[in-house]
Amino acid sequence: MSAAADWQELHFTAHKDQVKSLEDWLFARGALSVTLEDEADQPLLEPGPGETPLWDAVRLTALFAGHEDLAPLLGEVPPELCTQTPAAAVPVADREWTRVWEDQFHPLQIGERLWICPSWTPPPNPDAINILLDPGLAFGTGTHPTTAMCLRALDADLPPGKRVVDYGCGSGILGIAAARLGATAVLGVDNDPQAITASRDNARRNEVPDAAFPVVLPQDHLVADWQASADWVVANILAGPLVALAPVLTSLMVPGGRLLLAGLLADQAEAIIEAYAPEVTLSVADQQEEWVLLGGLKH
Ligand SMILES: C[S@@+](CC[C@H](N)C(=O)[O-])C[C@H]1O[C@@H](n2cnc3c(N)ncnc32)[C@H](O)[C@@H]1O
């Protein structure tokens, strides 16, 4: 351990079934935080609220204070808690995390009119539709292919004056974009309370009033009020939930309304097209990397 280190990290590899016990063990031994990442590049957007991982093989990073002697701890890691134990702690200098973000996130043009701009740089094109959005706890900064494909489709095809549902709104990025592109009413829905808060905060920062973009949990009465009234429904979730949500999403739409679904991989498209076939004829509208966007009109 370097004497100058402010923090130190231990990197473990574990199977998903071991993660909870390893986390508990590390916290009991003084870890200040434990973060989880995909070890094997297995695509998955994020776990649902309260869900445990995730990927089969997980990389755990445990953060400890810099002054702690972690050698005894490393000698005591129960072998049944991980598949790979670190040989040594990695010293970490105290970084200003906002600076790391500032280095990573830059203004991003998506489609013709939309720019997603972090707050720390002035929008490069003041005449564009600039959506101010900083990375936060809720998913959706525009950098993920699934979000980018939805934004491009909204930018290209959403006529003004429409009623739009952003189901699985996360940061609220799609709903905010729809409102700024001229939708008259937008409903945001998410089952994660953190996403509701993030969407509301982001909408206000983008001068989208609460009344123009209410954001609610799925069981809220507003979702019932919107039955059969949405001209567009956009949902960027994951293949499994998209199949399960088919009756909910299609019941929100007017006949002839447009549905956009993202969050699925190319080889998952067929199952989703089939699940929606009774109500909407979907086809692949876009593909970016291994992700596809499905689009179609309600019968
Ligand atoms: C991949 S993020 C998409 C965020 C944003 N719409 C975007 O395009 O970047 C998926 C969001 O869907 C939410 N979600 C997942 N399952 C859901 C469900 N069954 N009902 C409502 N929201 C759900 C998650 O909490 C998450 O915020």
Tens digits of per-residue pLDDT, 193-249?
989 998 999 999 999 999 999 999 999 999 999 999 999 999 999 899 999 999 999
Residue 152 lies in a domain: yes
Which CATH number goes with the domain that contains 65? 3.30.70
Which CATH number goes with the domain that contains 149? 3.40.50.150
Q: Compare 46 and 57 and report the one with higher pLDDT.
A: 57
Q: How far apart are CA 224 and CA 251, in angstroms?
A: 9
> What own/partner pairs with CB < 8 Å and gap ≥ 24 does 245-250 have?
245/167, 246/275, 246/276, 246/279, 248/167, 248/218, 248/223, 249/165, 249/167, 250/276, 250/279, 250/280, 250/298
Residue 122 lies in a domain: no
The DSSP 8-state label assigned to residue 218 in this structure reads: T
Per-residue pLDDT at 103: 67
279: domain range? 136-298
pLDDT digits (tens, 9 = 90+) for 75-129: 999 999 999 999 999 887 765 555 656 666 789 999 999 999 988 888 999 999 9
- Given 3-state DSSP classes, what are the helix, strand and coil percentages for the chain, each rounded to the nearest 5? 30, 30, 40
Per-residue pLDDT at 194: 85
Per-residue pLDDT at 27: 85
| 221 in the same domain as 80 | no
Q: How far apart are CA 180 and CA 174, in angstroms?
A: 10
Per-residue pLDDT at 67: 85
Residue 112 lies in a domain: no
Per-residue pLDDT at 100: 59
Per-residue pLDDT at 96: 54
| 146 in the same domain as 25 | no
For residue 2, the CA-to-ligand 1 centroid distance in Å is 42
Helices (H), the chain: 16-28, 71-75, 97-104, 145-157, 173-180, 193-205, 221-225, 239-244, 246-251, 269-276
| 172 in the same domain as 43 | no
* H-run or E-run covering 245: none
Per-residue pLDDT at 99: 60
For residue 172, the CA-to-ligand 1 centroid distance in Å is 10
The residue among 61, 94, 127 that closes a domain is 94
Give, using CA atoms, the residue closest to atom 23 of ligand 1.
168
Residue 156 lies in a domain: yes
The mean pLDDT of 149-175, rounded to a whole number, is: 97
Query: How many structural domains compose the chain?
Result: 2
| 75 in the same domain as 140 | no
Residue 178 lies in a domain: yes
The neighbouring-strand residues paired with 283 are 295
The residue among 94, 125, 157 that closes a domain is 94
Question: What is the average pLDDT score of the chain?
Answer: 88
Largest CA distance in the chain: 68
Q: How far apart are CA 2 and CA 8, in angstroms?
A: 9
Question: Strands 280-288, 291-298: parallel, antiparallel or unpaired by DSSP?
Answer: antiparallel
For residue 95, the CA-to-ligand 1 centroid distance in Å is 31
| 186 in the same domain as 79 | no
Per-residue pLDDT at 5: 65
Q: Which of 229, 218, 297, 287 is nearest to 259 (CA)?
A: 297
Residue 213 lies in a domain: yes
| 291 in the same domain as 159 | yes
Whether 296 contacts 280, CB under 8 Å: yes
Closest ligand 1 atom number to CA of residue 170:
27
Per-residue pLDDT at 137: 61
Which residues sit with their C-beta closer than 6 Å to ligand 1? 45, 48, 138-140, 147, 150, 166, 168-170, 173-174, 189-192, 195, 218, 236-237, 241, 245, 263
Whether 115 contacts 27, CB under 8 Å: no
| 81 in the same domain as 175 | no
Give, using CA atoms, the residue closest to atom 27 of ligand 1.
170
Residue 130 lies in a domain: no
The residue among 94, 110, 144 that closes a domain is 94
| Among 97-106, 177-186, 269-278, the least confident range | 97-106
End-to-end CA distance of the chain: 65
pLDDT digits (tens, 9 = 90+) for 3-42: 456 778 999 999 989 988 998 899 888 887 777 777 765 5
The mean pLDDT of 155-178, rounded to a whole number, is: 97
Q: Above 80 in pLDDT, residue 135?
A: no
Per-residue pLDDT at 272: 97
Q: Compare 53 and 160 and report the one with higher pLDDT.
A: 160
| 286 in the same domain as 163 | yes
Question: What SS3 class is residue 71?
Answer: helix
| 84 in the same domain as 146 | no
Residue 283 lies in a domain: yes
Q: Above 90 in pLDDT, residue 138?
A: no
